[in-house]
Structure 1
Amino acid sequence: MKPINIKKKYSKFDKQWHPHQIATVDDMQVLLAKISGSFVWHSHKDEDELFYVQKGVLEMRFRESGNPENVWSEIVNQGEIIVVPKGVEHCPTTKDGEEVHLLLFEKTSTAHTGEVSHEKTQTSYPKI
């Protein structure tokens, strides 16, 4: 039961799109991630995800299930959160190569890229 210094935790890793676990709360996990560029389109059938932007600006893209032409996005600024409801297809993105720091809150059962297998997919998260 000690405080967690999030800035110090970010200094422990450089790899992008590879979340690191800093805590668990019941069946939820608290993750830190550094991202740049665009991720992979995916959804989580049974889990919501919370994204808190610690540094930078996140563009969260969404698309309508069954209609991949219908794409829209929300800008999430530093200090803001966005919750992606279960089943909603999304693609986190950053602008112009900017590195964004995220704090994620999700169930421990949440697969990194849902049912999508991709080179960026991670199957385990280091604990730091």
Structure 2
Amino acid sequence: MFPANDLEAAFDRVTDYWSPKVVGKVNDQLLKVAKLKGELVWHAHDSEDELFYIVKGELRMEFEDSVTVLRQGAFLTVPKGVRHNPVADEECWVLLIEPASTLHTGAEVTDRTRSLEEQLS
């Protein structure tokens, strides 16, 4: 038997903003849920694409030369190597799909950076 998972219930595991939690895996891709508020940090993932799916709220993805606004139900793939900065003026729930090798904030390390071990807890 293969049990279904409740995506919205998965957000109960998230107690801090910008602290993703791994809730599933598809091949070598991790499915992570996160609650966002404020801004993270300008960063890039040199070798991995990163998909953001907005479950609730609104996210502004800043790029060096543009801004994309994502509302509930929208998704965006940030290509590898592209510098970006996620910003949420109000609480936003996001599902992330990215390879297990993806570092949370790329080469940038701040007090918001989370290790894979923290994301798995």
TM-score, normalization by structure 1? 0.88
Name the residue aligned to 2:40. Answer: 39
What aligned pairs does 1:27-106 form with structure 2 within 5 A after superposition?
27-63=28-64, 71-95=65-89, 98-106=90-98
CA distance in 1, matches of 2:23, 2:14: 12
CA RMSD of aligned residues (A): 1.0
C-alpha distance after superposition, 1:65-104 (max 9, x if no partner): xxxxxx4210001100011000000000012xx1000000
Runs of 4+ residues deviating >6 angstroms: none
C-alpha distance after superposition, 1:10-66 (max 9, x if no partner): 123221100000101111000000000111000000000000000001000011xxx
2:96 paired with 1:117: no
Answer yes or no: is the 8 Å Cα contact 2:63–2:85 preserved in 1: yes
Please identify, of 104-113 and 3-12, the stretch whose mean Cα deviation from structure 2 is larger: 3-12
Deviation at 1:117, TM superposition (A): 1.0
Name the residue aligned to 1:67. Answer: none
Answer yes or no: is the 8 Å Cα contact 2:49–2:98 preserved in 1: yes
Q: Which amino acid aligns with 2:77?
A: V
Q: Who wins on radius of gyration, i.e. which is larger?
A: 1
Q: Which amino acid aligns with 1:85?
A: P
Structure number having the greater helix percentage = 2
Structure 1 residues not aligned, in runs of 5+: 64-70
Kindly tell me the number of residue pairs found equivalent between the two proteins.
118
